[in-house]
Amino acid sequence: MRQLIRVLIALLGAVGISIIVKSKEAGNVPLQSGGWRDLETD
């Protein structure tokens, strides 16, 4: 029983960490770059 609880806690922890990592990734590029224009090759 104790082993089962440990496994469940470990699984919950892994899910929690991946949610935190994903949410940080989703919000790490809030800026717009700009400053690019078509290259003249003629």
- Give Cα separations from 38 to 6, 8, 25, 32, 42 (angstroms): 58, 55, 30, 17, 12
- Determine, following the binding rule CB under 8 A, whether residue 35 of this chain makes contact with another protein: yes
Work out which of 1, 5, 25, 27 binds another protein, going by CB under 8 A: 25
- Determine, following the binding rule CB under 8 A, whether residue 27 of this chain makes contact with another protein: no
Q: Is 4 exposed, middle or buried (0-12, 13-18, 19+ CB in 10 A)?
A: exposed
CB of 35 to another protein, least distance (A): 5
Our CB check for another protein shows the closer of 4 and 40 to be 40
Number of residues that bind another protein (CB under 8 A): 16
